[in-house]
Chains A and B, each alone.
Chain A
Amino acid sequence: MLSRSTLRNRTFFLTFLCFALGQPGISQSAEEQLFSKSRGAMGTTFTIYLYAPNQAKADEELEASFDEIERVEEALSNYRESSELSRINRLAAITATTTDPEVFKLLQTSFDYSRRSDGAFDITVGPLMRTWGFFKQSGHYPTSTQLSHARWSVGWNKVKLDPAQRTVEFDVPGMELDMGGIGKGYAVDRVIDILRDAGVKAALVDAGSSTLYALGAPPGKEGWKVIVPRPADRLHAVSEVVLRNNSLSTSGSYEKFFRLNGRTYCHIMDPRTGEPVQGTLQTTVIAPTGTASDALSTAMFVMGPTAGGKLLESMPNTSAIWITNNINEPHFEQWHWPGRLCRTADHCVTAGEGNGTR
């Protein structure tokens, strides 16, 4: 059931967070230590935290994890000419192009999110991003001709997937697939598979802080504490949640944007209008997988709380926060959010910097 309300009218304290902090031995053996490693990948920095009996074991698991991220990037990058996605982008407007079951399934999943979000989530949005100058960090307002040309080459329903042949085919030239809204979440899920197979009981995989997955829980904890900061303000938190065997993703308009004539244009496009989404500052979604939370955080950003909440009704174990810009003041809405929401910076817990989960 849809349950949205503004923070102004809500109580701050939710009993969900009354977890057993400090009680030892809930899920992890006491001998294990926390290890962490970061590495650049997929245009951001991945950080993995895990519990292991010693550094040698941690190094093995972390190396295997980063190898897996590299494998996924080599498949999905549209910056690498050698990637499978680049090969599809080169060929699919010419002929139906066969790909492997993994990539094909991820494309199916992506288009399923497109269908369910009425096109709010769309991996064909690349030509629009380019036209608005966001690929080269030179944002500008395009001409109407440029915009209509780009829109002609955008649309998830202009891509034909043939499951029998595992082929991808573009209906119109100039189309391209860009997994930027789902690829990092997918990579996070694959790392979690690797860690589970290796017997790791507790780990947190962080893809540039925008998508996180919490495997198990640290010793003596209910889960991994994650702080959701206020938009463009990492010192103050909107909320604190505990994740365990689920994922959280955040999309924000404050990392890439440009201003023109008093308006701010962010890098997140509404594929249906061909223009940057207006009015939304940040969305955060909790979902069972990294793939889902990554895709849904973008979809929620584009759809907004009303339509977004309706979509989440059909998706079990999801929750979300929307922060919109209401006459220069943040306005909060939520869907089944498990944590306390903080209305003003003054009342927020301090998020701090470099505290491990941000």
Chain B
Amino acid sequence: MGGAAALAASSFAEQSAATKLPASDQVNLAIIGPGSRGQQLMRTFLRVPGVRFGALCDIYEPRWGQARKITGENTRALKDYHELLTAKDIDAVIVSTPLSLHSEHVTAALDSGHHVYGEKSMALTVEECGQMLQAVKKSGRHYQIGLQYHYAPWYREAIRLINSGKIGQVTQIYAYWHRNNSWRRPVPNNDPKLERLINWRLYREFSGGLVAELGSHHINFANEVFGAIPESVVGSGGVDFWKDGRETADNVQVTYRYPGGKTLFFSAITTNRFVGCQVQVCGTGGSIVLTEADGTYYYEPNTGASAVPEGLAVEHGVVTGASYRAELPYRGQGRPLTVPAGTQGNPDFLACNSFIDSIRNNRRPKADEQVAWNCGVTVAMGNYAIDHEARVKFADHVRV
């Protein structure tokens, strides 16, 4: 590929990210919680020019070595995040701790004058989400929620098509994240003392379970498509298969009702991966299916009435016979969503690069605190509905 062609084929965000920067533009990051997701964020942030990690914090010391391996240097490592937040040379903090700690860690980082990239979901409860929203507004710092698919080029293209009316009126979204594994991480030497630390996602004290860890991406997308948070939710779920001492459900189903009766159904299971991770957007004029890697548009057969000459049906009459037309699912290929030239790239990279751009140029992140709050309270209400096995009205719990 020649230089000009390469220029056209690479994304504008990628190109601006690739440009060499003067040392004065260096952004010093710190991370609280460099576990598996935190480490992936570290790798991705280090692909943005001028980014360096000045400190890291984790109560589990083996993470220090793993994180230093990623930075390639002897990065300052701490157990106490308060100490990390007093460091003078840190511009922004990545919070990638268990969900129940997001509120404490993000608020402390904002209060100490740092910009924050906070992993999703925003917080464990509706109340904490509200407190964090206020904390961001009060701080005047930038806060970006780690919903990387908000930056995925094929998701952006889907939103553009939906907003242009390409698939008519979107009435339903069916979203799935189906896996066939225990959702457990190996605990070194089966040390029971480490179980909750490593497998925090499985324990209610720390985690919002499958709705928070997997569903939040789909929920954020539905909130954007419907332009609102839901009005109500019903939910079900339980520990029905992996009876290994876990507390968060191994299967969940939540149905959110948005204004105008628009609906999001989300399902996550851990016993079958036939469906995998996908979002089906159902419009009156077509459908869009989104996966972790791409998107596909499907046309909707015309269901409107057609005028016909009376001679055909009335004068001639209709013929009777044994017949039944099965309503089989559509089995065609669909048309792949084409990401516009200059917009492609890895969602994680685009999200991380956008955050650094927000810091350098004082730009509000696209996935800002309002996006985070919208998603966070929707997740929390979904879990509330599952816990109470009831239809729950947002108005009774969420103050907009």
Q: Do the beta carbons of B349 and A87 come within 8 Å of each other?
A: yes
Q: Do the beta carbons of B72 and A199 come within 8 Å of each other?
A: no
Inter-chain contacts of A199 with B (CB < 8 A): 188-190
* A100 close to B (CB within 8 Å): yes
Interface size on A, residues (CB 8 A): 40
Cβ-closest chain A residue relative to B183: A63
Among the 9-residue stretches B45-53, B135-143, B301-309, B358-366, the one with 4 or more Cβ atoms under 8 Å from chain A is B45-53
Q: Do the beta carbons of B9 and A82 come within 8 Å of each other?
A: no
* B346 close to A (CB within 8 Å): yes
Interchain CB contact (< 8 A) of A82 among B20, B189, B347 = B347
Inter-chain contacts of A173 with B (CB < 8 A): 1-3, 6
Name which of A64, A74, A95, A165 has the most chain B CB atoms within 10 A of its CB.
A95
* A357 close to B (CB within 8 Å): no
Proximity string of chain B (204-221) to chain A, C-beta cutoff 8 Å, 1 when within and 0 when not:
000000000000000000
In the bound assembly, the distance between CA atoms of A84 and B14 in angstroms comes to 11
CB-CB contacts below 8 Å: B293-346 with A = 293, 344-346
Interface size on B, residues (CB 8 A): 42
Q: Do the beta carbons of B6 and A91 come within 8 Å of each other?
A: yes
* A109 close to B (CB within 8 Å): no
* A102 close to B (CB within 8 Å): yes
Interchain CB contact (< 8 A) of A98 among B1, B47, B62, B185 = B47
Give the distance to chain A from B185, nearest Cβ to Cβ, in Å.
6
Interchain CB contact (< 8 A) of A63 among B19, B182, B346 = B182
Proximity string of chain A (152-183) to chain B, C-beta cutoff 8 Å, 1 when within and 0 when not:
00000000000001110000011010000000
Known: A60-B186, A84-B47, A198-B186. A95 touches B18 (CB 8 A): yes
Q: Do the beta carbons of A91 and B181 come within 8 Å of each other?
A: no
In the bound assembly, the distance between CA atoms of A80 and B9 in angstroms comes to 14
Q: Do the beta carbons of B1 and A87 come within 8 Å of each other?
A: no
* B396 close to A (CB within 8 Å): no
* A105 close to B (CB within 8 Å): yes
Q: Do the beta carbons of A63 and B46 come within 8 Å of each other?
A: no
* B43 close to A (CB within 8 Å): yes
Give the distance to chain B from A253, nearest Cβ to Cβ, in Å.
29
* B86 close to A (CB within 8 Å): no
Give the distance to chain A from B44, nearest Cβ to Cβ, in Å.
7
Name which of B11, B20, B182 has the most chain A CB atoms within 10 A of its CB.
B20
Inter-chain contacts of A167 with B (CB < 8 A): 20, 49
Q: Do the beta carbons of A102 and B43 come within 8 Å of each other?
A: yes
* A116 close to B (CB within 8 Å): no
Interchain CB contact (< 8 A) of B6 among A63, A64, A94, A166 = A94
Interchain CB contact (< 8 A) of A95 among B19, B50, B345 = B19
- Interface of B, helix, strand, loop or mixed by DSSP: loop
Inter-chain contacts of A71 with B (CB < 8 A): 40
Inter-chain contacts of A60 with B (CB < 8 A): 182, 184-187
* B24 close to A (CB within 8 Å): no
In the bound assembly, the distance between CA atoms of A190 and B222 in angstroms comes to 37
Q: Do the beta carbons of A94 and B10 come within 8 Å of each other?
A: yes
Q: Do the beta carbons of B46 and A101 come within 8 Å of each other?
A: yes
Inter-chain contacts of A98 with B (CB < 8 A): 17-18, 46-50
* A93 close to B (CB within 8 Å): yes
Give the distance to chain B from A86, nearest Cβ to Cβ, in Å.
8
In the bound assembly, the distance between CA atoms of A1 and B240 in angstroms comes to 63
Cβ-closest chain B residue relative to A80: B293
* B87 close to A (CB within 8 Å): no
In the bound assembly, the distance between CA atoms of A87 and B347 in angstroms comes to 12
Q: Do the beta carbons of A95 and B15 come within 8 Å of each other?
A: yes
Inter-chain contacts of B11 with A (CB < 8 A): 90
Interchain CB contact (< 8 A) of A101 among B2, B70, B188, B345 = B70
In the bound assembly, the distance between CA atoms of A99 and B14 in angstroms comes to 12
Give the distance to chain A from B134, nearest Cβ to Cβ, in Å.
35
In the bound assembly, the distance between CA atoms of A105 and B46 in angstroms comes to 13
Q: Do the beta carbons of A100 and B43 come within 8 Å of each other?
A: yes
Q: Do the beta carbons of A93 and B43 come within 8 Å of each other?
A: no
Q: Do the beta carbons of A95 and B186 come within 8 Å of each other?
A: no
Interchain CB contact (< 8 A) of B15 among A83, A91, A176 = A91
CB-CB contacts below 8 Å: A46-81 with B = 53, 56-57, 59-61, 63-64, 71, 74-75, 80-81
Give the distance to chain A from B163, nearest Cβ to Cβ, in Å.
24
* B370 close to A (CB within 8 Å): no
Inter-chain contacts of A82 with B (CB < 8 A): 293, 345-347
Q: Do the beta carbons of A93 and B6 come within 8 Å of each other?
A: yes
In the bound assembly, the distance between CA atoms of A97 and B344 in angstroms comes to 16
Give the distance to chain B from A54, nearest Cβ to Cβ, in Å.
10
Q: Do the beta carbons of B344 and A81 come within 8 Å of each other?
A: yes
* B83 close to A (CB within 8 Å): no
In the bound assembly, the distance between CA atoms of A291 and B284 in angstroms comes to 53
Inter-chain contacts of B72 with A (CB < 8 A): 101, 105
Cβ-closest chain B residue relative to A63: B181
Q: Do the beta carbons of A93 and B46 come within 8 Å of each other?
A: no
Q: Do the beta carbons of A101 and B15 come within 8 Å of each other?
A: no
* B131 close to A (CB within 8 Å): no
In the bound assembly, the distance between CA atoms of A167 and B1 in angstroms comes to 20
* A197 close to B (CB within 8 Å): yes
Q: Do the beta carbons of A59 and B181 come within 8 Å of each other?
A: yes
Interchain CB contact (< 8 A) of B2 among A74, A90, A174, A176 = A174
Give the distance to chain A from B97, nearest Cβ to Cβ, in Å.
20
CB-CB contacts below 8 Å: B69-85 with A = 70-72
Give the distance to chain A from B358, nearest Cβ to Cβ, in Å.
18
Write 11 A-B pairs (CB below 8 A) sorted by A numbering: A59-B181, A63-B181, A82-B345, A90-B6, A90-B10, A91-B6, A91-B14, A93-B1, A93-B6, A100-B47, A174-B1
Interface residues of A (CB under 8 A from B): 53, 56-57, 59-61, 63-64, 71, 74-75, 80-84, 87, 90-91, 93-103, 105, 165-167, 173-174, 176, 197-199
Q: Which are the 7 A-B pairs with shortest beta-carbon distances? A: A101-B72, A90-B10, A100-B46, A82-B346, A198-B186, A98-B49, A199-B189
Besides the known contacts A60-B182, A100-B43, A101-B46, 11 further A-B residue pairs in the complex with CB atoms under 8 A apart: A60-B184, A82-B346, A82-B347, A87-B349, A91-B6, A94-B3, A94-B10, A99-B46, A167-B20, A174-B2, A199-B190
